Amino acid sequence: PVSTPGTPPRSTVTDKYAYAFDIDGVLIRGGKPIPEAIEAMKMLNGENSYGIKIPYIFVTNGGGKTEQERCIQLSQQLEIEVSPGQFICGHTPMREMAEKYGTVLVVGGEGEKCRVVAEGYGFKDVVTPGDIIKDNQDTTPFRKLTEEEYKNSRSRDFSKINIEAIFVFADSRDWAGDQQIILDLLMSKNGQLGTRSETFDDGPPVFFSHNDVVWSASHDLTRLGMGALRLSLEAMFKAVTGKELNTTAFGKPQIGTFQFATRLLQQWRKDTHGIDSPPDTVYFVGDTPESDVRGTNEFNKQSENTWYSILVRTGVYQEGTKPKFTPKATVDNVLEAVKHGMEREY
Ligand code: G3P
Ligand code: MG
């Protein structure tokens, strides 16, 4: 690129390759950036010896707030500008389910945030566990709503409502109460609270925004995640009804999430960099073999060898063990991951 005197040199953008980043355990841990993450982002934005910019997107299984809100937070944490056009979280693809169901139960997250997210996706009638406890506080013997929760919950007559589907958008803040309510619905006649099915096969379907059994938070050791709640719920349903419960999970490693990410990246490269052709390689940097490496490897097989998995040692995966799914490369941290991709390219 030609630069005129007085203006800083403009870096060119590569159309050959791109990056996709997992967030927890790669860029952020317990709300704080992983030290190398900020420099890694600078590198992608042109501060590298090749003087080029490399397009990138974020694909996290996390959630619990709107994409917009999460991007504002991520921009501050990583000292760059992150746009919803380059961001997918666990529940983003759930927006495609909004048309299909009438009344739905949305579980997880702080306060009313997930209700706001679901309504933003176009879900027509969103019930939360708080609404159910407000209507009948005997639902959860050991959980009383706080004054604020009571105020924010909606008054409904559940004897007239059929809940058609259950969506776990984010981690439950109260496993006991939320599981009781989900079980009540699963054992009901057609999603009507207060009823009991004779066969236990006419309850609503349950969707989880991802299936991570553990994840990397501020504690040194991994913490239980939504996949653990899913396992627990399936085991309880079996114990109480004697029947198998089949639930569905979105997020990584589902192929659909990687297809969604491919479309997002294509649009992002087009809108912000004017690139029309697909990249030869997408480097996916993740910390969880079961979600990030597995999904990338499986999707790679379907996408003519364009996705390349890089595992870092800053999150769920720790040195000394053999990852269940083998990445193309394992490096110490996200900065090394970015360097690894760049070195492969030149
Ligand atoms: O709850 C979030 C967690 O399970 C994983 O997030 O960014 O590592 O996909 P991430
Ligand atoms: Mg992660």
Ligand 2 centre from 148 Cα, in Å?
32
d(CA 201, CA 105): 18
The number of the ligand 1 atom at minimal distance from the alpha carbon of 214 is 4
The number of the ligand 1 atom at minimal distance from the alpha carbon of 90 is 9
Ligand 2 centre from 252 Cα, in Å?
10
Task: Enter the DSSP assignment of 94.
Answer: G
pLDDT tens, residue by residue, 22-75: 999 999 999 999 999 999 999 999 999 999 999 999 999 999 999 999 999 999
Query: Does one domain contain both 66 and 116?
Result: no
The number of the ligand 1 atom at minimal distance from the alpha carbon of 286 is 8
Q: What is the mean pLDDT of residues 324-345?
A: 98
Identify the pLDDT of residue 332.
97
Q: Which of 190, 216, 249 lies at the terminal end of a domain, its last residue?
A: 249
Q: Which of 222, 249, 276 lies at the terminal end of a domain, its last residue?
A: 249
Q: Which of 200, 216, 249 lies at the terminal end of a domain, its last residue?
A: 249
Q: In this structure, are strands 214-215 and 223-224 parallel, antiparallel, or unpaired?
A: antiparallel
The candidate with the shortest Cα–Cα distance to 195, out of 163, 236, 169, is 163
Quote the mean pLDDT of the chain.
Answer: 96
Ligand nearest 90 Cα, by number?
1
State the residue for tokens 């070195």.
343
Query: Does one domain contain both 72 and 111?
Result: no
Q: What is the mean pLDDT of residues 332-340?
A: 98
Query: Looking at the predicted structure, is the pLDDT value of residue 319 above 90?
Result: no
From atom 3 of ligand 1, which residue's Cα is the shortest distance away? 62
Query: Looking at the predicted structure, is the pLDDT value of residue 5 above 60?
Result: no
From atom 8 of ligand 1, which residue's Cα is the shortest distance away? 24
Ligand nearest 315 Cα, by number?
2
Does 62 contact ligand 1 (Cβ within 6 A)?
Answer: yes
Domain containing residue 265: CATH number: 3.40.50.1000
Query: Looking at the predicted structure, is the pLDDT value of residue 221 above 60?
Result: yes
Query: Does one domain contain both 245 and 100?
Result: yes
Query: Looking at the predicted structure, is the pLDDT value of residue 107 above 80?
Result: yes
Identify the pLDDT of residue 214.
98
Identify the pLDDT of residue 9.
52
Total tally of structural domains belonging to the chain: 2
Identify the pLDDT of residue 320.
85
Q: What is the mean pLDDT of residues 168-191?
A: 98
Determine what percent of the chain is predicted with pLDDT higher than 90.
95
Query: Does one domain contain both 176 and 163?
Result: yes
pLDDT tens, residue by residue, 239-275: 999 999 999 999 999 999 999 999 999 999 999 999 9
> Containing domain of residue 187, as a range?
94-249
Q: What is the mean pLDDT of residues 97-120?
A: 97
Buried b / exposed e along 144-166 (16+ C-beta atoms within 10 A): ebeeebeebbeebebeebbbbbb
Does 109 contact ligand 1 (Cβ within 6 A)?
Answer: no
Mutate which of 223, 291, 309, 316 for ligand 1 pocket (most atoms within 8 A of beta carbon): 291
Query: Looking at the predicted structure, is the pLDDT value of residue 206 above 70?
Result: yes
Spatial contact of 160 and 102, defined as CB atoms under 8 Å apart: no
In this prediction, residue 6 has a pLDDT band, given cuts at 50, 70 and 90, of low
State the residue for tokens 């299936």.
211
Q: What is the mean pLDDT of residues 80-107?
A: 97
Identify the pLDDT of residue 161.
97
